[in-house]
Structure 1
Amino acid sequence: MKPNRLFTKTLFLSLLAMATLFVACKDDDKEPENVDTNPIVGTWQLNGVKTTAGADLPQLPVVLAGAPCLFSLKFEFMSNNKVTAKDCPNATALMTSFLPINAETTWKVDGSTLTLTNGTNIKTFPLSQTEKEMKITVSIDLTGTGTPTTGVMVFNKL
């Protein structure tokens, strides 16, 4: 009877040691998520669409007719380098040709250049930013003539 008891204890201790080893070897070495600390991280609301000289864009009434919620438009730049547009689907739809932002879009700031990547679609924009204001310069054909207009989208950080 003693050999059976010894076998049972040995088996129990072996199983206990294996269970402890299994739990102790859990994969704790996961790759940390990239976190970007650029001041662009946060939520920005569109405050104006200007010419490069600082005046309101002359075609602004046409844009507002198609997207009356334009000045409710917000861009959320996340620290994992994703960006989303929200609160004005009409403006987001109007912008798809020159400023394509959807759930798959990523951002990168390099000096005074903002790069938006959406799959194989990569667009770069001149960018100036302070802690509270951001300006993105875009070229768009607002008249349908093929002649692009340069505009500056002015955002305030919320």
Structure 2
Amino acid sequence: FRLDKKQKKTEVLDFLYSLIDKNHENEFFKAMEFDLENRLDDNNNSPFAPLKFPAFYYCWILSKFGAYAQITNWCFNDILEKRVNADVFIQQHHQQNYVLSEQLENNLKEICDAFKSYSNTLNNWYDEIRRLHDDINSSLMSDEFREFLKSIWEIINGSNFVLSRD
């Protein structure tokens, strides 16, 4: 079928959703896997990777399947990973006055917009990270995991994450 240029992207997704009789989530997972497996290698030399799918798609998934669906969790994991990687890159290059290209700025904006949408809906994970921050015996954590938690905490809370080795 041919799309009218004025048709919104989410209308197309809604139309495809309506064509599926049952197991909508599973069918969209299959389509996503197929897309990822059959993409051409674009030799993306970007300092931080863009989202695997457009932000509008992730927001549509959230609105269509809800906050606790497996597919929503998969999308959030991609968003969170890309958000942390972008933040680490920016922090590492902050002192060098690194100027982002227009494409990198667009990637970052898309990542941040999707992260904000999911964060506003999925704020239940904040308590889990807070509990890790407050209660965990840090001597049990590897240095890599400690740095990962620090990055996440700073993104979410905007403050320093301190774990002592008492």
Larger radius of gyration: 1
Band of TM-score, shorter chain: under 0.3
Give the number of the structure whose residues are more often helix, by fraction.
Answer: 2
TM-score by length of 2: 0.19
> Which one has the bigger strand percentage?
1
